[in-house]
Structure 1
Amino acid sequence: MTTERVTIAYRVPGEPAEAPLTLGQDNMIRCLRRDLPSHMNKHAVWPVPPGADRAACLDALRTLAERHAALRTVFPGPAGDQPTHQRALSDGEFGVDVTELDPAEDPDARADEVTRHDREFAFALAEDFPLRCTLLTRDGVPLRLAVVICHAQLDGTATGLLFQDWFRLASGEELPPATGRTPIEVAELERSASGRRRATAALRHWERILREEPATVFADDRIGPNDAQLPTLVLRSVKAADALERTARRTGAGPSAVLLACYAALAAARADQSTVVVAALSANRHRPGLADHIGTLAQDALLALDTAAADLDELIGRTQASALGGYWHSTFDAEKVWRLIEDVAVDRGARFVRQVVVNDLSGTVPPGVTPERADPPVDPLLAWLPPDPIPTRLMLNIWRVTGCLELTLHTHRDVLDRAESERFAHALLDLLELAAERPVPLAELAALAGLPSAVRDKGSWHRIDNTWIDLDAVADVVRTALDPQDVDVEHADGRLTARITTRGRALTPAEAHAAVMAALPGHDRAMAPHHYVLTPYGEGPGRPGAPAE
């Protein structure tokens, strides 16, 4: 195996242009600065068009850079600071590795190895081209293009659109001029009067859910710290695609709403609570004029789905309405949303945890763009991939809904182990089959799914402020934060009180609350007390000093 580094230069008419960041760019750069590169960099393996040679594949990449301003966009400023502006370059260059495979080497395995390695390293936002590309060849013939993507410039949908362009260009096809808005044009739109109103309305939508709905979905005896390593279950089924199409036709809902309703119903059954708060990724592609935007719009839509419905048809209708509302309110100032999340957490004592995620990428590569994959040898086909670092508890990716349903399910072992994850996948397919024929009473779900439900056997579990909380876990967080001599936690009349004997140091309730809130992340079963009674060790009734409350 040998590798050659090829430099590709690009140039477009005009001078470099600058503008403020788009809201999506600002959001993703904040995430990039906070999370590990392996969490935030995305990767893909692109098939090579039949008959395309090395020159065509590389020239298609150059054309992409000249065609789409997002690929020429950098973010000036020191590496450790949050940038304020984007700059679209008019010329530059980037490198592509061309790797010649050994005769017996599996190109897909090698592509997976390359992308998993390359996603471990951060992009330099002020200067790097946002794609790390490796063209894999055998006897000089291109077989795969392995790509790692910087999330600051491209979200999942944009990457899918980019692949379509590359595949057609490498096939020798001439493309019409790009019509999607550039990132600079999106920034201008977002700073218009209507754009500012939309962002303000989004904050109100988020605040209502953050203050009123469950702060966590999964809270029971099994839930421990999240190590963010989630194995991936791949599901492919031709029969399920047919059932999904019939269910959508019978109910009048879109395939995405049908799948989301089934997913939420099963998640609710596992969580043993009716309301499931779901983060839907890349949801603002539904905004007018942005479906074909090459850039990053990736901001969550926050949905609160009430699964306490008579049947699945009713839940599908609720889900479609809730999703539309969430998508409409998924364009926001990320700094203000993070401040809102923190302010609500301090007020409520419960920190919102993004435990259930859905990402619908089924529209990114329409049928007919690439050669159809063979149907799975068995139906359904379930296969496991290595764990991915994903900071959530349950995530469904929807890749394809027509012809052959293709999904990936990421599950944390505390929520679903491997056997339970496979039962979850089969239950989803069974639910689609039944829903294609009739309304399915949700009372049938438990028998249908055979999934575990939340177990809260200890007497320390209480439902507080619409969230399941383990008082023992609260006491553990207080001990971690304050190192007290003694702590007793009680819940009465809707208020959570911590009676703390400190080790002699003076401590106000406000200081105690701040320390507990700082220690709370990672403890999904706990919340901070609403009320603190602080007594220094050696003091109490009949002794000098008095409790601070």
Structure 2
Amino acid sequence: MSEQQDVVVRYRADAPEAEGPLTLGQDNMIRCLRHDEPSHMNKQATWTVPPAADLPLALAALRTLAERHAALRTVFPGPADRQPERQRVRAEGEFTVTLLALAEDEDPGRVAERFCWDGRRQAFDLAEEFPLRFALLTRNDVPVLVAVVICHAQLDGVATGLLFQEWLTLAAGGTLPAPTAPTPIEVAEQEQSHSGQRRTRAALRHWEHILADQPSAVFADDRIGPNDTLLPTLGVRSTAGAEALARAAARTGASNSAVLLACYAALAAHRADRGTVVMAALSANRHRPGLAEHIGTLAQDALLAVDTDCPDLDTLIGRTQAQALSGYWHATFDAERIWQLIEDVAHRRGSRFARHVVVNDLSATVPDSVAAARPEPPTEPDLAWYPAEPTPTRLMLNIWRTTGCLEFTLHTHPDVLDREETELFAHALLGLLDLAGRRAVRLGLDGELAELTGLPVARRDKARWQQVGTNWIDLDAVADLVRTALGARDVEVHWQDEELTAVVDTGGTVRTPEEAHSAVMAALPGHDTAMAPQRYVLNGGTGSGRP
């Protein structure tokens, strides 16, 4: 059992204390932190230690990181139960490093994982706390690994990766040039400028177009039930996959990211039996000019609607690249206005946006030196299952590395892909990359995906599934939703004359369609295969009409 000791590290920056408005990314992430479980929103990382590092040098390197970067010295004043409006950058302060002395037979990776999991479950005090919780693991007083718990309000994945690269240099005794990327306060000032506000208005229009017109839920079939947030995780490593990806990118003239996204979208569409896949791409704002090296949190979703109804994968790759660029450009937004837009569109459509398909390209967060030092996969491809992660979606692709060895993880909800099907999906993704590196791959009804994948396709009982606009709806699920929302035993749901109607006996407790619709909409979250009726007939017709 490792022995523990806490060391307090004090820092003093050259820059004076400063205060300013929140960035849009900070505002967005703080809202998420206040809404979701800490174990979901807090992040973790393990940093390797350069051979030359001793304990004083390691502690000095961590101090230097705090003094270099305003984001690490940033707090958000105000009560914990309110959304803050300002950020404050401290000129000096302190943080704690937990020293964990390993026993001879202890695995550093397991000890680091335990520290991070314990730390992730504890919410950060945004008004006071340093945004990184460090544990420095030592053996015989020599540092061997750093475990880090990260507050998402101050740092996103790319920023954490940039800090890791700086740590490697500083802990080896090296020096770094002064940072040149804008500070969070400077980013906030740009976002509040006239050009920045034009951009946020354009983002709102982009989101409204997709939310109002595209499918609210990608996966809609007999298997889909409530959305549990603990999803199994499959890790995949393949050197052949990296070679195939490089060939496909060179042959099509697209980026590695666009090729991977197109293959992912094609397979998701095949499983869902959909012509359009709406997906969220996380941390998309690194594409903004001058922000590639920004230390802060820019984590806001890009919303993409990828039309997969095309003759071949080459066409889909081109479409996906264009959609990704548009989504990234419109990924800087006012989170409060976006959430209000989601609510307003849901009320109008009677269906709520379900974040079913997610992609997160984290390949920029892993330094090349670290990636190159990883051992070759023991098998081709190498597949490994990891503990379930809290992931509020149905299908998520995390991309960790694309050159030398393709590395990604898949988080899959069992209603969409069970473990065997998840492995089929991984093999299909690699197989599709291999074909794309050599030639165009046929899609559509006479395409090659069915034979290539072996994946199940959505099954919808024709008697109870109906297409309402762009949404597939289970009429039994609608009846269950109305029954639950209105406390009614007698509910009949009909799709007739292009109108979804619910005939409900509430015993007189709900008298108007407006009351009924409000109650049904309040109960709608989590009912991904249902929608609110477009017309209500209440209590034998005493209350009837459209809400």
- Is the shorter-chain TM-score for this pair beyond 0.5, marking a shared fold? yes
Amino acid across the alignment from 1:548: S
Out of 521, 526, 548, which is 2:544 matched to?
548
Which consecutive segments of 4 or more residues in structure 1 shift more than 4 A? none
Give 1:123's aligned residue: 124
Distance in 1, matches of 2:376 and 2:415, equals: 33
Distance in 2, matches of 1:275 and 1:126, equals: 43
- Does residue 172 of structure 2 align to residue 162 of structure 1? no
Give per-residue Cα distances to partners, 1:127-175, cap 9 Å, x unaligned.
Answer: 0000011111111121111111000000111111111111111111110
Give 1:5's aligned residue: 6
Give 1:448's aligned residue: 452
> For 2:472, what is the secondary structure of its paired residue?
strand
> For 2:202, what is the secondary structure of its paired residue?
helix
Distance in 1, matches of 2:276 and 2:223, equals: 20
Give 1:319's aligned residue: 320
Give 1:533 shift. Answer: 1.2
Amino acid across the alignment from 1:468: W
Distance in 1, matches of 2:455 and 2:52, equals: 48
Give 1:370 shift. Answer: 6.5
Give 1:372 shift. Answer: 1.4
Give 1:268's aligned residue: 269
> For 1:116, what is the secondary structure of its paired residue?
helix
Alignment of structure 1 residues 314-393 onto 2, 5 Å: 314-368=315-369, 372-393=373-394
Give 1:312 shift. Answer: 0.7
Distance in 2, matches of 1:45 and 1:240, equals: 26
Give per-residue Cα distances to partners, 1:188-232, cap 9 Å, x unaligned.
Answer: 000111000000000000000000000000111111101101111
Give yes or no for contact 1:115–1:147 (8 Å, CA) kept in 2: yes
- Does residue 532 of structure 2 align to residue 528 of structure 1? yes
Distance in 2, matches of 1:270 and 1:49, equals: 45
Give 2:207's aligned residue: 206
Cα root mean square deviation, aligned: 1.1
Give 1:494's aligned residue: 498
Give 1:493 shift. Answer: 2.9
> For 2:126, what is the secondary structure of its paired residue?
coil
Give 1:308's aligned residue: 309
Distance in 1, matches of 2:42 and 2:50, equals: 25
Distance in 1, matches of 2:458 and 2:537, equals: 32
Give per-residue Cα distances to partners, 1:441-464, cap 9 Å, x unaligned.
Answer: 121011101001111125110111
Give 1:51 shift. Answer: 2.5
> For 1:314, what is the secondary structure of its paired residue?
helix
Out of 480, 488, 496, which is 1:476 matched to?
480
Give yes or no for contact 1:76–1:87 (8 Å, CA) kept in 2: yes
Give 1:100's aligned residue: 101
> For 1:518, what is the secondary structure of its paired residue?
helix
Give yes or no for contact 1:72–1:129 (8 Å, CA) kept in 2: yes
Identity %: 65
Distance in 1, matches of 2:231 and 2:15, equals: 46
Give per-residue Cα distances to partners, 1:346-387, cap 9 Å, x unaligned.
Answer: 000000010100000112234236761111111110000000
Distance in 1, matches of 2:95 and 2:143, equals: 19
Give yes or no for contact 1:23–1:333 (8 Å, CA) kept in 2: yes
Give yes or no for contact 1:245–1:255 (8 Å, CA) kept in 2: yes
Amino acid across the alignment from 2:306: L
TM-score by length of 1: 0.97
Give yes or no for contact 1:465–1:494 (8 Å, CA) kept in 2: no
Aligned residues: 541
Give 1:142's aligned residue: 143
Give 2:113's aligned residue: 112
- Does residue 514 of structure 2 align to residue 510 of structure 1? yes
Alignment of structure 1 residues 169-318 onto 2, 5 Å: 169-318=170-319
Give yes or no for contact 1:164–1:369 (8 Å, CA) kept in 2: no
TM-score by length of 2: 0.97
> For 1:339, what is the secondary structure of its paired residue?
helix
Give 1:462's aligned residue: 466
Amino acid across the alignment from 2:314: D
Amino acid across the alignment from 2:458: A
Amino acid across the alignment from 1:110: V
Give yes or no for contact 2:486–2:510 (8 Å, CA) kept in 1: no
Distance in 2, matches of 1:253 and 1:413, equals: 33
Change in CA separation of 1:233 and 1:370 when aligned onto 2, cut-off 3 Å: closer
Give yes or no for contact 1:485–1:503 (8 Å, CA) kept in 2: no
Amino acid across the alignment from 2:535: H
Give 1:87's aligned residue: 88
Change in CA separation of 1:370 and 1:257 when aligned onto 2, cut-off 3 Å: closer
Give 1:73 shift. Answer: 0.3
Give 1:14 shift. Answer: 4.3
Q: Which blocks of at least 5 consecutive residues in structure 2 are unaligned? A: none
Give 1:253 shift. Answer: 0.4
Give 1:504 shift. Answer: 2.4
Give yes or no for contact 2:230–2:388 (8 Å, CA) kept in 1: yes
Q: Which blocks of at least 5 consecutive residues in structure 1 are unaligned? A: 541-545
